[in-house]
Amino acid sequence: MRDTNLTIAELGHRGDGIAHSEGGQVYVPGALPGEEVTAEVSNGRAADVTYIKTSPDRIEPICKHYESCGGCSVQHLAQEPYLDWKRGLVVKALADRGIEAEVAPVVPSEPGSRRRAVLTAARAGRTILLGYHEKASHKMVDISECPVLVPEIVAGLRGLKRLCVELMPKKGELRVNVLSTTNGLDVAFDQADSKYESKFAALSQLAVELGLARLTINGETLLEARPPALDMGGLTVVPPPAGFTQATLQAEEALCDLVLEGLGKSKKVTDLFAGVGTFALRIAKSASVHAVEGDAAANKALDKALRVPRGFKKVTFERRDIFRRPLMKAELASYDAVVFDPPRAGAQAQAEQIAVSKVKTVIAVSCNPATLARDLRILIDGGYTLQKVTPVDQFLFSPHIECVAILKRE
């Protein structure tokens, strides 16, 4: 290990600066393209970095926890090059699969817009820390602010910590899922101390005092003062505790607009990995929809939402593990469009079936450009034309990016 002079050539897919040295690539946390540094290098990683020349694109991070917190990786990069970098992640992922396509400018995200967070609580002696892990560490950062989260969650941090005091296990960490809804915070604790049942009355009183909409502990809903509702295209949906929802309302609306634009005049659509109906409920205003989702709680939430008459087209739903049982070619024959929004692992098996089908329009939504590119390659090889890919920056200051891809079969 010795001091090495390095010039940062590019920004890596995780937000680290990358320099090229005689020994190979060196990853320099926090560095930006064009910057010159000296650092101690070991196993391709830089430490004890000293800046000789800084980039004009470097800005002051907006969070006081930024240097230690691992929640964000690129707060120090100006807006325009930041969005260019995120778009570049998508372009590179497609290029790695030999795909050339129009990649639109990134739909940006605003600070203070993230309505869903997963926090961690841990003990530090007699103190409870609540926040995120440090960068590349198991140590905790006890946050008092977070410029990414909606103000309602930030304002609730102190109250959440009071609940953590009552629920901390003797060993290990406590997971805290928080969702800001139209009726207040929906809070779900996981890995809580098993003896919490003896504190039902005190916990319920505290939840009421804190104004929580719902409190769930280890999968059991202890209190629901008000339905923790989300507005999805004019229809009220109550997601299951700690269930999947789009991270920001602005991104959800942008994704839905892109999906609807891609569907055009499609009349019969199947929405795969449908969740609680984020896309299906909006599609149902103009087309019949069959929603397929493997999670029973999400199916139940969608069923409950559909019990309120809204003048929609026909909406049906099915519980099905699409990874194990993708919709087959014959099952897809009755649809003129397919929408799929899988987890980060993508939807390879389902893409293979779509590729041999005659479905005219396919809309692929993904939070992982690498698996999206793999699935798009399958569809393109099956005869689809990739018309457009639009990145949506749902995960501000992080290396993650959401995408909507529109494909048509001539």
pLDDT, tens digit (0-9, with 9 covering 90-100), for 154-178? 999 999 999 999 999 989 999 999 9
CB-based burial of residue 410 (10 Å sphere; 0-12 exposed, 13-18 middle, 19+ buried)? exposed
Residue with tokens 């457009």: 388
User: What average pLDDT score do residues 218-226 get?
Assistant: 95
First to last CA, the chain: 58
Q: Which amino acid is at 202?
A: A
State the binding site: 246, 273, 293, 341
State the binding site for S-adenosyl-L-methionine: 246, 273, 293, 341
Residue 73 has pLDDT above 60, yes or no: yes
The catalytic position among 69, 164, 367, 403 is 367
- Diameter over CA atoms, the chain: 70
For residue 166, is it within any domain? Answer: yes
Query: In this structure, are 282 and 368 located in the same domain?
Result: yes
For residue 65, is it within any domain? Answer: no
Query: In this structure, are 255 and 352 located in the same domain?
Result: yes
d(CA 149, CA 315): 33
For residue 68, is it within any domain? Answer: no
Range of the domain at 33: 3-58
Share of the chain above pLDDT 90, in %: 86
Residue 12 has pLDDT above 70, yes or no: yes
For residue 234, is it within any domain? Answer: no
Length of the chain: 410
pLDDT for residue 139: 87
Whether 256 is a known active-site residue: answer no
pLDDT band at 2 (very low <50, low <70, confident <90, very high): low
Sheet order of strands, 315-319 included: 315-319, 288-293, 268-272, 337-340, 361-366, 402-409, 384-392
Buried b (16+ CB within 10 A) or exposed e, 180-191: bbebbbbbbbbb
Query: In this structure, are 377 and 318 located in the same domain?
Result: yes
pLDDT for residue 58: 97
Model pLDDT for residues 288-329, shown as the tens digit of each residue: 999 999 999 999 999 999 887 777 899 999 999 999 999 999
Model pLDDT for residues 234-282, shown as the tens digit of each residue: 889 999 999 999 999 999 999 999 999 999 999 999 999 999 999 999 9
